[in-house]
Amino acid sequence: MDINEKILLLAILKKKEDETLMDIVKTLENTQLFTLKEGKKLLKKLKTEEFITDGFLTLKGDLIAKEVEQEFKI
């Protein structure tokens, strides 16, 4: 898993109630982490790999996002 996927999963874990996945992608695009096109591609990949479903993290996605959170705390 590359760093952009990790950051996107972590951002989804930390998202606010009223934020959509596209809001998160646009926010990360504004930080110049990736382009909007790349962000949409990453989002699609995470959905395909079953890290995300119906706009939320799956159990698998949640576990990985929490591991990423710990990784960044070090």
pLDDT score for 71: 93
The CATH number given to whatever domain includes residue 25 is: 1.10.10
Query: What single-letter DSSP state applies at residue 56?
Result: E
User: What's the domain range around 61?
Assistant: 3-73
Domains in the chain, number: 1
pTM of the full structure: 0.92
Contacts of 13 (CB under 8 A, 6+ apart): 57, 62, 65, 66, 69
Tens-place pLDDT, residues 25-64: 999 999 999 999 999 999 999 999 999 999 999 999 999 9
The separation between CA 45 and the C-alpha centre of its own chain, rounded to angstroms, equals 10
Spatial contact of 39 and 8, defined as CB atoms under 8 Å apart: yes
